[in-house]
Every structure is written in C-alpha cells, then in structure tokens.
Structure 1
Amino acid sequence: MTDTDIALQQATTQVEAASADAAKRPTIAGFFDEATNTISYVVSDPATKEAAVIDSVLDYQAASGRTSYGSADRIIEYVEANRLTVIWHIETHAHADHISAAPYLQEKLGGKLGIGKEIIRVQDVFGKLFNAGTDFERDGSQFDHLFTDGEHFSIGELEGIVLHVPGHTPADMAFIIGDAAFVGDTLFMPDFGTARADFPGGDARQLFRSIRRLLKLPDDTRLFLCHDYKAPGRDEYAWESTVKLQRENNVHVKDGTTEDEFVAMRAARDATLDMPTLILPSVQVNIRGGRLPEPEENGVSYIKIPVNAV
C-alpha cells in the first residue's frame, strides 16, 4: 500500500468514527465575505473549546490600497463569545483572491499559522515574478508549521489529517477534521463545479486526480468549500456539500467524467476567465504568511504591479 493510500484510508477511518460518534465531530461556523466570495471557518472542539481558524480574510480596497479588519473582527467576536482558544490558523493554500488576516488574528487570539509544505514552490515562482530579492526567504519560514500529506494533528480531542490536493496550485491541502473536510479551492458547490487550474504551477490533470482522491472519502463526509459564486438559477450562497452530492451532481467532475474530458473542459473554461481582481496584492502578501512587504525607508509598505508579466 502506498503512503497516499494509507493517508486516505486513515482519513476514511476517522470520518467513519466521527460519523458514528457525535463527540468526535467539530462545531463549525462559516463567515462569508461577499467582497471576495470567500468563506472563512472557525472549527472547534465542543469538549475542550480549542479551535482553528481556516482561510481568514483581511479586507483590502484595491483602489486605495487600504486594509481594514471588519471580516477578521467578526471571527474574533465569535471566538470570544464562545470562549474558544485558538491553537491553529490554517491556510488551505496561498490565496489569489483575498489577503489572509492570519497575522492580525494571531496577534489578537494567539495560535500557530500553518500551510502545506509545497508553499515553497509557490514562493519560488511568485518570488521571481515579483522580483522579491534575496531578502525574501523561499523556505516557508514565514509560517509556524508546514503540513505534509498524511500528517495527523489535533484540535482539542478532535482528530485531524491532512491530504495534499494539488492542481489549483501546487500547495493546496485538504484538512479532514472529524467528519468534515475543508477542501479549499479544489471544489465548489456541485452546481458550480471546480477550481481553475491555469495559475502558475496549476495543473488540470493533477486537480482531477486530487478531486477524485477526495471523493473516495465516505459518502456522508461533509465538505466545506472556500468560495461560492451562486450558480445560475440559484439565489442564495452556499458552501457545504457532501462527497455523495459531489459524486452524483458536480457539473465538472461527477462520477463517469474521464480525466481527459475534465482536462479539456478545464482548459476551455480557464481560457475565458479573467485573473482575480486581487491576485497581484493577494499572492504577494500571502506568500509572506499574510504579512505586507517590509516598509521602505519612508515607513510605507508597497505592493508591486508587474506590467505585462501575468
């Protein structure tokens, strides 16, 4: 049995145990940011009140370059109201559509910041694109912990396991906590489909295989998504699905879809998509663990805009 199969088998066993025992299931609160169509999560253990924050959002005005903390403060209010202790701030990948609020939340709530170890590949690619210079470390040291495929972790008494699911970016990770899977940008709601694969380091074939790996989890595994854009004909935002619903209904990758069909669809669709509005500031900051570039001699931080390079 390969290491990948072992990790998936262990994740399956964990989900099955949590499905059968409510004490092994997390309490989950989702926070939707309509400006970026992002859902952040607070995942907590009811028994110990320990918690993780997943994919937080720092408010950013592209026109003015100003940041604010309204989205993050909603998370702080929830954590404090429920007397939670945050031990993890988790990024499913280096986001290209919003800036992470993890450093701000760490300052206010404590906890360690973690991301997949392949962030070093993303740092290398985008460090060159932004000409970040030799002062920018490309070793993941901006994060407190780099997760690896199959790694186990805990939130209080809750068990967690990490699955590497590249394709959207090289560093995407899915975090299986109890019976819930936080899958980042790999999947959207079944009526909307799947993530794009045309960013630097993206690969549609890898994405297909990563998704099919996730869809081998038990049918009743709860899937929590990082984005929703309301598919045509749907009036409300939604961000929770199940493996069964995705396998039966996902418009891009349901059961019976071949890898070649998916790759052809993804290539054609991605060719029509504009770059995310905030990709240049977001990636530039998120490869630094959500920290702005170091201030220059005048005390101001600057976001670079490479011209004719993307």
Structure 2
Amino acid sequence: MAKPEVAGFHDPRTGSVQYVVSDPATRRCAIIDPVLDFDQRAGCVTARSADALLAHVAERGLQIEWILDTHPHADHFSAAATLKERTGAPMAMGARIVDVQRLWSRLYGLPDLPCDGSAWDRLFADGERFRIGGLDVEVIHSPGHTLASVTYVVGDAAFIHDTLFMPDGGTARCDFPGGSATALWRSIQRVLSLPDATRLFTGHDYRPGGREPCWESTVAEQRAANIHLTRCADEAAYVAMREARDRTLPIPDLMLLALQVNIRGGRLPEPNAGGVRCLSVPLDVLPDCGWR
C-alpha cells in the first residue's frame, strides 16, 4: 500500500491539527484543514499558520495540488481561501456542505448566500476518488460531528477530522446543529473497518493531562484503547454516553464567528460602506444551549 509523507502542525490556540500530505515520488501535496489565525479580543486576522505551511512546502520542494477541508470548522477560521489566493491551488470539501450552508444561512439570516457549494472548486461525494500526485485518494462521508464531514484516505493514511481523537481523548462532540451521535458512531465504525495498520490523523488534540500534542494513531490502537469506545459495548451505549457528555460542554468560543466565514470557504465578509470588514453574532439562534 502507498505510504504518503505526512507532516502535522498543531495550533495551540484551538487544538487544531493542520496537515501537509505528499507523494514522495512526484513531490505533489495537499494541505488539509489549514487554520487562519484570529484573535477574538483584538479582532485581528493573520496568516501565520498558513505561512508556516507554505514554508514547509517550499522547504521540502513540494507542489500544492489541493487545499482540502474535512468539514466546516466551528472553532477556527479556515485558511483555504487565503491559500488558494496565494498558490492558485483548488479548494475542495465534502458535497454535503450545501446542507450546512442552507442550515447556517437561515441561522445567520443570510437569504442571499449561495448555498450551492460554489465557494469551492470541487465538492466530493461519498466514495469519490481523486489523486495527489501518484497517490489515490478515497473520500468517505463521515457525518455526526457535522453534516458535511468527510474522511480522506490516502494510501495507508486516513485524515479522520473530528470523529476520533487520540485514544486518550475519545471522540468528537455531536451537539452542533446538524450533528448526530448515532451518525458519528456509524462513521467511526466505517473508519475502524479500514486495515488495522492504517495511520489515523485526527483533526484536534486537546492534550489530556497536559501531555505533549500528538495526532497519529492506528485503527488497531483506536479499537484497543479509545476511552469512549472501550467503555461502550454498542451503538445505544455510545449514543447515550455521547449525548450526556455533550450536554455538559460549552459552545466553542468562536463558533458563531467561525461558521459565517467557513460556509464561504474561509472568505471573510466583504467590507462595509466604511471599508471595514465586520463579523456578526446572531442573537438567540441557539436557545437550547442555556448557560453552559
């Protein structure tokens, strides 16, 4: 089985992990889940994380073929559009992003937002294939955390976004609009049906116990040691555990800000009449969240 080179970049502010996956033979690569840095208190947007990815690409003599997001992120801005502007590489996302756009355009009160996925150059359906250099890539629709989540399987590596975290971190939450613990359980089972030695690259690491960040495991390791899966014998037990846990979790600080950017492929709002870009916070659109 093909073995791509994978470099991970942990963002300590959000716990997100960004990836450069490359074909050693052709030196072609894809960037997965790039972060656009945002300081909420200062209202400041920078591309330091994206610059670090581009520096790595240049240092390794790679050529970017794709800029990929696994799902519309709720805790950080996507740098996909920024990287496309700088490199010309096409942006892609799972095809069900159109459902997320429809859902969140209603919550934001944006009737004129195009909800057709046209913010991306290509939308991938479940089972679709494409290439990174000479590497074959399979797309697996992996809903649960979001409606649009996908896994990219590249040779012996799978980029599993917010399904499974590292074994000591468990699994992803499912309580955002469009989320489903039942769907996540089934997506996890599909990921775990890959060969035991498949390298799994998670979308976040929150450093349980304060350990150093890490982001790579295997299917066999997840089956044997994931703290949520080993405690739940079946789907019903997992759904009960996941839903109870989610009820205790606060909404991510940036969710209402990030999703209005990420349903546009990482593009910031257009400047207003005064030439200033402004983000908006819709009020009372998530009334069931309470004061968690």
Range into which the TM-score falls when normalised by the shorter chain: over 0.9
Establish whether residue 230 from structure 1 lines up as the match of residue 207 from structure 2: yes
Structure 1 residue runs of 4+, over 6 Å off?
A: none
Distance (Å, rounded) in 2 between the aligned partners of 1:163 and 1:268? 27
- 1:125 counterpart SS class: helix
1:247 corresponds to which letter in structure 2? R
Does 110-119 or 297-306 show the bigger shift? 297-306
State the partner residue of 1:8.
none
Establish whether residue 305 from structure 1 lines up as the match of residue 281 from structure 2: yes
* Cα deviation code 1:44-96 (max 9, x no counterpart): 11111111000000000111211011111100111111111101000000000
* Cα deviation code 1:122-160 (max 9, x no counterpart): 0011101111132x1001110100001001111111111
Establish whether residue 114 from structure 1 lines up as the match of residue 103 from structure 2: no
* Cα deviation code 1:87-123 (max 9, x no counterpart): 1000000000100111111122221100001001100
8 Å contact 2:232–2:238 — kept in the other structure?
Answer: no
Alignment of 1:65-76 (within 5 A): 65-76=43-54
| Distance change >3 Å, CA 218–CA 166, structure 1 → 2 | same
8 Å contact 1:117–1:148 — kept in the other structure?
Answer: yes
* Cα deviation code 1:176-224 (max 9, x no counterpart): 0010000010110111100000000000000000001110111000000
Distance (Å, rounded) in 2 between the aligned partners of 1:30 and 1:189? 14
Alignment of 1:1-310 (within 5 A): 18=1, 24-134=2-112, 136-232=113-209, 235-254=211-230, 257-310=233-286
Distance (Å, rounded) in 2 between the aligned partners of 1:118 and 1:212? 20
| Distance change >3 Å, CA 255–CA 48, structure 1 → 2 | farther
Q: CA deviation at 1:249?
A: 0.8
Gaps in structure 2 of 5+ consecutive residues: 287-292
Q: CA deviation at 1:256?
A: 6.2
8 Å contact 2:158–2:201 — kept in the other structure?
Answer: yes
Distance (Å, rounded) in 1 between the aligned partners of 2:162 and 2:87? 26
Q: CA deviation at 1:257?
A: 2.2
2:6 corresponds to which letter in structure 1? I
2:31 corresponds to which letter in structure 1? V
| Distance change >3 Å, CA 287–CA 126, structure 1 → 2 | same
Distance (Å, rounded) in 1 between the aligned partners of 2:232 and 2:182? 16
| Distance change >3 Å, CA 125–CA 256, structure 1 → 2 | closer
Q: CA deviation at 1:254?
A: 3.5
- 2:17 counterpart SS class: strand
1:166 corresponds to which letter in structure 2? P
Distance (Å, rounded) in 2 between the aligned partners of 1:110 and 1:177? 22
- 2:271 counterpart SS class: coil
TM-score, normalisation: structure 2 = 0.96
1:131 corresponds to which letter in structure 2? G
Gaps in structure 1 of 5+ consecutive residues: 1-17, 19-23
Distance (Å, rounded) in 2 between the aligned partners of 1:288 and 1:126? 11
Q: CA deviation at 1:299?
A: 1.7
* Cα deviation code 1:261-307 (max 9, x no counterpart): 11110111000000011111111100000001222222222211112
- 2:20 counterpart SS class: strand
What is the aligned length? Answer: 286
Distance (Å, rounded) in 1 between the aligned partners of 2:238 and 2:191? 16
| Percent identity for Structure 1 against Structure 2 | 49
8 Å contact 1:94–1:171 — kept in the other structure?
Answer: yes
1:55 corresponds to which letter in structure 2? D
- 1:245 counterpart SS class: helix
8 Å contact 2:147–2:178 — kept in the other structure?
Answer: yes
